[in-house]
Amino acid sequence: MVKKIALEEHALCPSLAEYWHPTVADVPAVVRDRLLDALTDFGDRRLASMDRAGIAKSVIGIAGPGVQVETDTARAIAKAKASNDFLATEVAKQPSRYAGFAHLPLQDAAAAADELQRCVEQLGFRGAMVNGHTLGRYLDDPAYAPFWERAAALNTWIYLHPADPVATMPSLAGTYGLKRATWEWGVETGTHALRLVFGGVFDRHPGARLMLGHLGETLPYLLWRLDSRAQLYGVTLPQPPSFYIKRNIAVTTSGMCSAEPLACALAALGNDRVCFASDHPFEDAGEACHFLDAVALPEEVRVAVASGNAATLLGLA
């Protein structure tokens, strides 16, 4: 069992439960209660789960959607700040085991930039976790230029986590189980990331850094085609899309216990751009850790994915 640093580990502070409950309204009550219990635990049970799986440190982010669905901007700003203070207090109780991702009020780009800076510089957080679009606005919107400028200046990571799209694609309607985590979230989040690439955000802000779960939401598999179609359709970026994906994006293993996509991500992005995540409590941390311990990899690559890359990219011990 190799030491692991896990980068997509979820929690919930009491003041944000009102935003989370509607997202699990269709989940059986017994499952919903179990998830809520795990999300709100920062003590012995979370630590014991980490110990069993071989996770030395968890970087904890607020479970979505959080304040990103709040229509009152002032309330979103206040509640984001309070949730970050709450998380910082819990992290401070176990500084050798926990670190934090900021929760941001992206209704206001300047306020989000200020809160990101406060969380990184004053609270010691390792970046931010953003739960998809904010009230239908994606991160390539020109209004977010000050946010990306600040994130780049701070040399910190923005972890883009899935969220429900503004509207379900007609092709996903029906009873086939394709919505949300099966397929819909991957399409939504991969598209969000590509908006940043094709919209020139990483060209204008070369120091901006984005992290994606699920081994990159299929993007590593598509690099050649993205470059080919960008050229065909006259995309005017100075570099092909794959250049920005390789330079500005790193990925984690959250929710992907499969050798083939892991091999693709490592080959496409490099051994130094893939990190471990268990997606606690929405996935089984034990399964995620056993997979990484058992999958056929050179041992130095296994160690890099398990903890070395996170230590380097996020400054974690």
61 closest CA partner among 132, 151, 131, 143: 131
The count of residues in the chain is 317
State yes or no: is 279 an active-site residue.
yes
Rounded distance between C-alpha atoms, residue 309 and residue 271, angstroms: 8
Residue 215, judged by CB atoms within 10 A of its CB (0-12, 13-18, 19+), counts as buried
Rounded distance between C-alpha atoms, residue 194 and residue 140, angstroms: 9
Backbone angles phi, psi at 136, to 5 degrees: 85, 0
From 72, 140, 279, 284, active-site residue: 279
Asked if the peptide bond before residue 281 counts as cis, ω within 30 degrees of 0, the response is yes
First-last CA distance in the chain: 18
Determine the distance from the C-alpha atom of residue 52 to the mean position of all C-alpha atoms in its chain, rounded to a whole number. Answer: 23
User: 């809160």: which residue's tokens?
Assistant: 115
314-317 contacts: CB < 8 A, separation 24 or more?
314/7, 314/59, 314/99, 314/126, 314/127, 314/157, 315/126, 316/5, 316/57, 316/59, 316/99, 316/126, 317/57
- What positions carry a catalytic annotation? 279
